[in-house]
Structure 1
Amino acid sequence: MEQWKKNLIVLWFGQFLVNAGMTMIIPFLSLYLQFDLGLTDPHEIALWAGFIFAGNFVTSFIFQPIWGKLADKYGRKMMLLRSGFGMAIVMTLMGFATTPLHLLLLRMLNGTISGFNPASVALVSATTPKERTGFAMGTLQSGGIAGTIMGPFIGGLMADAVGFRPIFYITGSLLFAASMLAWIVVKEPFDKSLAASRTMVSVAEGLRKLRKIPQITSLYAVTFMIQFAMLSPMTLMPLYVQELHGTTANLAFWAGFVGSVTGMSNMIASPLLGRLSDRIGSERILAVSLIGAAVTFIPMALAGSVWHLLLSRFALGVFLGGLAPTVNVLIRKYTPDGMESRAYSFNSSMLGLGNMVGPIVGGALSGFIGIKGIFFMSASLMIANSLWVRKSLLHRRKAKA
């Protein structure tokens, strides 16, 4: 088997385990705070649960670019292993937490040392043949999505089977095993002498340099908008499902199904659209996917039943499957040599920013425009984003041709 395929397979499983580990605590976090960490007041439990879950993303947003700079200097594999082994230790320590503050600090530490996903993307991008990059990025994306979808499901099953604390020990062990596998199998043709000869600018200067490239700026905006549009209505989605469903029977099932169906179609579509982008060009796939994703928000707002909402969410996942992989391919295309890992780290920070801002804005505006208004807002913003991408990528491509 060719080395780039070995890298892709191992890092697919690595991304699956990392993303599953990040989301596995969702079903039982409140129960863990109540039964194992001693909280009793419902409001206090909800407050701590929100802070603990968000803590990982806050520190990740801050530190990703720093690890990206070091990856460009010392190699992506080194940063990948640093993150993998570090998260394995921190995840295990979460099982020994005795107070909510301990858990919050460990989640923040986990975000600080994270960076497995952007390092994986940069490494796969650097080692995959150019004509197969779209397929590789789509496949890698499907691993992360699969972990995000399956994480809460696995966490709920394991909580019933083994209790809360053992889940952290098991997850830490799996992350350690995945990191060991990456250490043994994954190979990167990294020229340390060439990297050392390049002038290493600061994180802020690196951001200023990348912002001067119009294509990179518009691609970062796509990443932010994907997460913002996806998460801004999520806290209100169960209430919307209840409104459409009309009864309380199987309400939790339908709410969970609506939340996960987008990830399922995304996981299926990402490799297929990635392969198609290798044939017709990533810019075209990106343009069509942006418009398609924007349009799918409109029938969500106009849904007359849960099934209408489900079909719209499924279609959204298909179009999202053409966004993240093509963004990663195009970031590599337009990034100056020697700054690839940093570019992907900034992109990861934009993803984290969307994760944080989306629910906050959605919750703040819901009282004024409702969830239907949020769907229309998301559609409008994504259409505006598609026009920006068309101007910065497609028009410049035609001008060069």
Structure 2
Amino acid sequence: MQRWKVNLAVLMIGNFLVMAGMTMIIPFLSLYLQQDLGLTDEHQIGIWAGFIFAANFITAFLFQPIWGKLSDKYGRKMMLLRSGFGMAIVMVLMGFATAPWHLLALRMLNGVISGFTPAAITLVSATTPKDRMGFAMGTLQSGGTAGTILGPFIGGLLADSFGFRPIFYITGALLFLASAISWVMVHESFDRTAAAMKRQVSVFKGFKDLMVIRQLPVLLTITFLIQFAMLSPMPLIPLYVQKLHGTTENLAFYAGFVGSVTGISNMVCAPLLGRLSDRIGPSRILLVSLAGAGIMLIPQAFAESVGQLLAFRFLLGCFLGGLIPTVNSLIRKNTPDGMESRSFGFNSSALSLGNMMGPIVGGALSGFFGIEGLFILSGALLIMTCVWATGALRARQSSKQA
């Protein structure tokens, strides 16, 4: 088996374990605050839960470029292991928290040292033949998506069986396992001596140097807009399911199913669209996927039943499989050798910023437009992003060729 295929297979499994571990705590975070950390006021629980959830993204947004710079200097595998083992320790410590601020501080620390997925993307991109890049990015994405889907489900089951605190220990063990497997089986050809001899520049200078490359500012903006549009209505979807379902019977099941069906179709379609992008070009897949995702968001505002919402969410996931993986392929294609980690670090920051701003802005706008309006606004934003990206990417390409 070729080395790049071994790396891809191992890191896809590692990505699954990391994302499953990271999302296991989602179903019971507010309950953990209430039952184990002593909060009783519902409003206070909501405020703490919101801050604790966002803390990880805030610090990740700030620190990902720094780890990207160090990755170009010391190697991607080292950053992969740093993040994996570090998050394993932090996750176990969360199980010993005795006050909400302990959990907040640890979530912030987790964001500081996080970066397993960006490091995996960089390592795969550096070892994969360029004509197979789309397939590799899609496959890696499918592993993370599968973990994101199954994580809350597994976490809910384990919490019912063992309680809340043991879930943090199990999550830490999964992160440790993913890191150990990567340590043993992933190989990277990285010349540390040559990297050390290169002129080192600051994160800000590195950002300026990369932004001169005409495609990269467009791609980072697209990443932010994708995450912003997709996450804006996300916190309110359970309430929307409750409205469509009409009763409380099996409500949790339907809400969870609506949340996971998009990930299921994403997981299936990402490798297929990645393989297709290797044949016809990632830019075409990206633009079609942007338009398709935007179109599939709008009819969700007019769904009359949970079944209709499920159908539209499933089709949405099919197009989502062609978004972030193709952006990653284009970033690798347009980044000079030796600066890949920085590019993916900045892209990870753009993704974290979208993850953070989307729910905040969506929650603020929901009072004016309702969740139906958020679906329409998010769909319109992705369609406008498609129109803008079509012109921007073509203009950059034409200028590059000239």
Aligned pair 1:70/2:41, yes or no?
A: no
**Cα distance in 1 for residues equivalent to 2:304 and 2:36:** 42
Corresponding residue number in structure 2 for 1:297: 297
Q: Which residue of structure 2 aligns with residue 359 of structure 1?
A: 359
1:179 counterpart residue number: 179
Range 48-57 or range 86-95, more displaced: 48-57
Give yes or no for contact 1:226–1:320 (8 Å, CA) kept in 2. no
Structure 1 position 179, deviation (Å): 1.0
Cα displacement string for residues 300-356 of structure 1 (whole angstroms, at most 9, x for unaligned residues)? 122222222111111111101011111101000111222110110111111111111
Whether the 8 Å contact between 1:72 and 1:195 is mirrored in structure 2 is: yes
Preserved contact between residue 67 and residue 345 of structure 1 (Cα < 8 Å): yes
Q: Which residue of 1 aligns with 2:263?
A: 263
**Deviates further, 306-315 or 355-364:** 306-315
Q: Structure 1 CA distance, aligned partners of 2:326 and 2:197?
A: 31
Spell out the pairing of 1:179-328 with structure 2 (5 A cutoff).
Answer: 179-328=179-328
- Count of residues in correspondence between the two structures: 401
Could you tell me whether the CA contact under 8 Å between 1:232 and 1:359 is conserved in 2?
Answer: yes
Residue range with higher mean Cα deviation, 373-382 or 274-283: 373-382
Aligned match of 1:46 = 46
Distance 1:250 1:169 in 2: 30
Q: What TM-score comes out, normalization by structure 2 length?
A: 0.96
C-alpha contact (below 8 Å) 1:215/1:389 kept by paired residues: no
Tell me the CA shift for residue 396 of structure 1: 4.3
Letter of the structure 2 residue corresponding to residue 245 of structure 1: H
**Structure 2 Cα separation of the partners of residues 396 and 32 of structure 1:** 49
RMSD: 1.5
Q: Which residue of 2 aligns with 1:166?
A: 166
Partner of 1:31: 31
Query: What does residue 128 of structure 2 align with?
Result: 128
Corresponding position of 1:101? 101
Structure 1, unaligned stretches of length 5 or more?
Answer: none
Q: Percent identity?
A: 70
- Paired with 1:171 and 1:298, the residues of 2 have a C-alpha distance of 36
Which residue of structure 2 lines up, in the alignment, with residue 141 of structure 1?
A: 141
8 Å CA contact 2:18, 2:174 repeated in 1: no
d(CA) in 2 for partners of 1:396, 1:351: 22
Instruction: Give the letter aligned to residue 287 of structure 2.
Output: A
Native 8 Å contact 1:228 1:358 kept in 2: yes
User: TM-score, normalised to structure 1's length?
Assistant: 0.96
Structure 2 distance, partners of 1:251, 1:167, is 24
Task: Say whether the 8 Å CA contact 1:221–1:385 is kept in structure 2.
Answer: no
The 8 Å contact of residues 285 and 322 in structure 2, kept in 1 or not, is answered as yes
SS at 2:26's partner residue? coil
The separation in 1 between residues aligned to 2:383 and 2:117, in whole angstroms, is: 28
Aligned mates of 2:41, 2:375 — CA distance in 1: 34
Distance 1:53 1:13 in 2: 25
